[in-house]
Amino acid sequence: MLAVNYSTIRNKLKDYCDKATDDNETIIITRKNEKNVVLMSLDEYNNLMENLFIMSNKKYYERLLESKKQIERGDVVMKTTEELDSLTNE
Could you tell me the pLDDT band of residue 89, with boundaries at 50, 70 and 90?
confident
In this prediction, residue 5 has a pLDDT band, given cuts at 50, 70 and 90, of very high
- Mean pLDDT to the nearest integer, 42-47: 96
- Find how far residue 53's CA is from the centre of its chain: 12
Cβ pair 77, 56 in contact under 8 A: no
**SS3 state of residue 32:** coil
2-40 topology per CATH: YefM-like fold (3.40.1620)
What span, in angstroms and rounded, lies between the C-alpha atoms of 25 and 19? 6
* Beta bridge pairs of residue 5: 30
**Percent of the chain with pLDDT strictly greater than 70:** 99
Q: Give the pLDDT mean for 3-17.
A: 95
Average pLDDT over residues 36-41: 98
Q: Is the pLDDT assigned to residue 73 strictly greater than 90?
A: yes
